[in-house]
Amino acid sequence: MRKVSGTLNGTGAAIVVGCGFKPDYVKLWNTEATNPVVVEWNKSMRSLEQIEGIASVSDGTQNLFARYAAGAGIAPYEGGDVMTAASTVYLFRTEDVLQQGDLSKKGEAIAAGNAVSGWTLDTSANRTGKFNAGVDTTYIGEGSQIRVWDPLTRKIYETVITAMTNDGDADDEVTLAVAVPSGQVMYIGPMYDYIGASKAGDVIPAGFKINMTTVLNVSGNIITFEAGQYLR
C-alpha cells in the first residue's frame, strides 16, 4: 500500500499530478478558499453520476455537496505521456524538476544557492523575522517548509512560512507558523511540492487528473492532496 501527500498551485485549468502511481483514492483541500472546499474520489465510486468524485463546499453556514460525472472531477491517470515542451498542465515533484534544471535550488540547496544561511526573529508575538539574504520568490513563499538550528539550545525547529513580503531579507518580512528563535537556516523547501514539467522529453509518471476548473482548482490557491492505494 502506498500513500503520498503534497501541495500544488491551483491554475483554474485541468492539471495532471504525476505522484508516481495510479491511486485508488484521492482527497483534496483548497486551503485558501474563503469557504472550505474538500473533494474526494475513490475507485469504488462507479456510478455514472459520481464517477469522478464528490465535493463538500461550505457556504459559511452549511456544507453543500456536488457530484462529478466523467470529465468534471478527479480521475486516475495512467501515466506515460511524453512532454513536447515545458508545461504547467503536467506536474512533477518539485525537487525532481529542479534537479533537472537549476541544481542550486534543489533540496537543502534551495537556501544555500541563494546565500540564505541565517534567520533572525524580529517580533516574537507576531512570529515574524527575516533571512540574512533575499530568497528566490519563484520557489519560496507561503507553504515553504523551513528548518532552523538554534545554536544556544542546540535544538532544530521545523515549521512553515505562512506569509512573506518581498524577498524576506528585511525586518518582519517573513511570518512563520511558530516563533522560531534566531539561528542557522538548514533548509528552506519549495512553496509547492509539485510544479510543471521542466522540459521536452520528460515522461509523466502515473497519478491523477484534476478536471475541475473552479471551486477547488482556483488559480493561485494552494491545493493540498492525499492519494493512496488500498490493500490488495
Burial 223-232 (b: 16+ CB within 10 A, else e): bbbebbeeee
H or E, element range at 29: strand 25-30
Burial 57-90 (b: 16+ CB within 10 A, else e): beeeeeeeeebbeeeebbbbbebebebeeebeeb
pLDDT per position as a tens digit, 148-192 = 999 999 999 999 999 999 999 999 999 999 999 999 998 888 899
Distance CA 98, CA 85 (A): 16
Model confidence, pTM: 0.87
pLDDT per position as a tens digit, 113-128 = 557 889 999 999 999 9
pLDDT per position as a tens digit, 35-64 = 889 999 999 999 999 999 999 987 766 668
For residue 171, how many other CB atoms are within 10 A of its CB? Answer: 11
Distance CA 166, CA 132 (A): 14
Indicate if the pLDDT at residue 222 is higher than 50.
yes
Distance CA 9, CA 224 (A): 9
Three cell numbers written together for 112: 544555500
Closest by CA to 147, choosing from 173, 122, 100, 112, is 112
